Every structure is written in structure tokens, then in C-alpha cells.
């Protein structure tokens, strides 16, 4: 718990310093937005990849079942 308080205090200090300098604050916000956009893009790509893999697996399973005579 003490570590969390220390981390919160450090984050508050950084935020306080950034908010005092508008240019730095805007740079910080731009960087945070870029990080969020990247993370969302990666998550979306992962979900699409998983879905594509499932579809391929289903198709391969059906083809294998047909080959083995299982319907």
C-alpha cells in the first residue's frame, strides 16, 4: 500500500509539473493519446487474428472430417 501511495505521489508531481508548462502538457497528452491509439490498434488486430484463426480452424476441421467420412 505504501508503494502505491508513493507511486501516486510521484504521478501527481509529474502531472503538477506538466500542467504548469502548457507546451509540455500538450506534448504529454499527445503522447498518451498515441499510446492509447497504439494499444487499441494492437488489441483490435489481436481480436481479428484470433477470429480469423478460428474460421481457418473450423474450415480445416470440416475438410478433415469430410476426408475421414465424418459429417
Please report the DSSP string for 1-68 in residue order: -HHHHHHHHHHHHHHHHHHHSHHHHHHHHHHHHHHHHHHHHHHHHHHHHHHHHHHHHHHHHHHHHHHH
Question: Is 53 in contact with 46 (CB distance < 8 Å)?
Answer: no
pLDDT of residue 70: 74
What residue segments make up the domains of the chain, in order of their start? Answer: 25-71
> Grid coordinates standing for 48?
481479428
pLDDT of residue 71: 60
Evaluate if pTM is beyond 0.85.
no
1-38: pLDDT as tens digits: 556 688 888 888 887 777 778 888 889 899 999 999 99
**Cell 481480436 sits on residue:** 47
pLDDT higher than threshold 80 for residue 48: yes
Q: Please, which pLDDT band fits residue 69 given cuts at 50, 70 and 90?
A: confident
Amino acid at each position: 500500500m505504501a508503494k502505491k501511495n508513493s507511486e501516486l505521489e510521484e504521478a501527481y508531481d509529474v502531472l503538477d509539473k506538466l500542467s504548469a508548462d502548457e507546451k509540455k502538457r500538450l506534448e504529454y497528452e499527445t503522447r498518451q493519446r498515441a499510446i492509447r491509439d497504439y494499444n487499441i490498434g494492437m488489441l483490435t488486430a489481436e481480436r481479428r487474428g484470433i477470429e480469423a484463426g478460428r474460421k481457418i480452424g473450423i474450415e480445416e476441421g470440416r475438410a478433415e472430417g469430410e476426408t475421414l467420412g465424418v459429417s
